[in-house]
Amino acid sequence: MRILFLNHEFSPQNWEAGNASFYLLREYAKKPELEVDFVTISTDDQYHLLAMGENISIHCLPIGKKQLDINSLTKMEKFHFARQAYRFSLELASKNRYDVSHAFSSFPSGLVALWLKKKIKLPYVISPQKSDVEMLGNKIISFYVFKVWKKASFLVADSRRLGQLLLAASVKREIKIISKGVDAGSFFPDSDKQDAEKFTILCDSQILPIKGIRFLIQAFKILSGRYEKIQLLILGDGNERKSLYDLARSLGVIEKITFLGDVSRENSLGYYQKAHVFASASQDNQVDNGVSIRFALASGLPIVTSQVDGVEDLVVEGWNGYFVGRSVADDFAEKIEILILDKNLRISMGKNSFQLAQDLSWERIATQYEYFYNETVNVAHVQEG
């Protein structure tokens, strides 16, 4: 089977759709019976051809900028990428016979898939993003997005919450749910790394006001007054770092809190293995912290988190962690204290997190997507007679 991937996002950026593309490609690189061309955007003004294994080609297309920040793409720049990607994909299709395409957003990538279906009858699977739903307020964008959804063979949401949002947006199609995967190979537990004499809380997040880390620091102040041998490790960086440092100092807990700054994915494993619990205080329903929660699952950690969109697929109350109210430091302290006091519960929850990580491994997620690719091809053959 030959598949065309379409996504303006791609790793090493820590975006959800970009991560999904990267991990699916990594799994498909292990399957020589699959060939994938991935068309994405270049962050400079040059075309780049990358390879992953012997069967994956990654085409990075420039859109005329010497330096491009994907986070700040305008709607016109997204349209420009769609036109570039469409023309380039047609060239690829003239040389390669694709069976199906997979677009990792409704706009702009889904627009490319729609145009290809109209031009060369290439069926496609679409993975809508929450941002697609949020763009429906724009009449021009919504016109295209609804067309993309209508002509897709399958719509695959990566969380139950996104599925609900799509249905609420009057998507008159069956919505399939395939969760985001977990990097269960690169992250794994190692209890020998834990300090038996010191309880370690880990937070891995951008340090921005919307991530709510100040509430976690306030909760830590409560806990540090009751337990001497605890520490808080904060991975990540952002524009709130100085004010959080000042807050920790004013609360008298700065000596027990370590701001580690940006740490690469490879180097962060040791901190996850050292931790006893993972905490996320995010107030952000975009759930970009979902990536770090998945690392915590694979590392066998119980999780204490605010209940933002998407985490209901990762945390089961009382089974592998706890939900807390947003902006409530007392609630954070109470739930973390349960895990400080009950080692057996902490270990049990950690094992449950690890099991969930295995169930959500990217190997299994890739297999589920492959099923839909085959279904799409079969349906297309029937429709063609």
Q: Kindly give the confidence (pLDDT) of every residue in the chain, 385 residues in length, as a single tens digit, with 9 standing for 90 and above.
A: 999 999 998 865 556 778 889 999 999 999 999 999 999 999 889 999 999 999 999 999 998 877 777 767 888 889 999 999 999 999 999 999 999 999 999 999 999 999 999 999 999 999 998 888 888 888 888 898 999 999 999 899 988 888 888 888 877 777 899 988 998 888 999 989 998 889 999 999 999 999 999 999 999 999 999 999 999 999 999 999 999 999 999 999 999 999 999 998 889 999 999 999 999 998 876 544 478 999 999 999 999 999 887 788 899 999 999 999 877 899 999 999 999 999 999 999 999 999 999 999 999 999 999 999 999 998 877 766 5
pLDDT of residue 287: 45
Residue 370's contacts (CB-CB under 8 Å, 6 or more residues apart) are 34
Can 2-181+362-384 and 191-359 be said to share one CATH topology?
yes
Write b or e for each residue in 317-348: b if 16 or more Cβ atoms lie within 10 A of its Cβ, otherwise e: eeebbbbbeeebbebbbbbbebbbeeeeebee
Of residues 87, 82, 41, 88, the one with CA closest to residue 65 = 41
CA distance 346 to 205: 22
Q: Does the predicted model carry a pTM greater than 0.95?
A: no
Q: Which residue has the tokens 């996320």?
A: 280
User: Which alpha helices (DSSP H) does 102-189 contain, by range?
Assistant: 109-120, 130-134, 139-151, 160-168
pLDDT of res. 15? 62
- Answer whether 139's CB lies under 8 Å from 106's CB: no
CATH number of 191-359: 3.40.50.2000
- Give residue limits of the domains in the chain: 2-181+362-384, 191-359
pLDDT at 289: 46
- Cα distance between residue 383 and residue 385, in whole Å: 5
Task: Say which CATH superfamily domain 2-181+362-384 falls into.
Answer: Glycogen Phosphorylase B; (3.40.50.2000)
Distance CA 260, CA 264 (A): 11
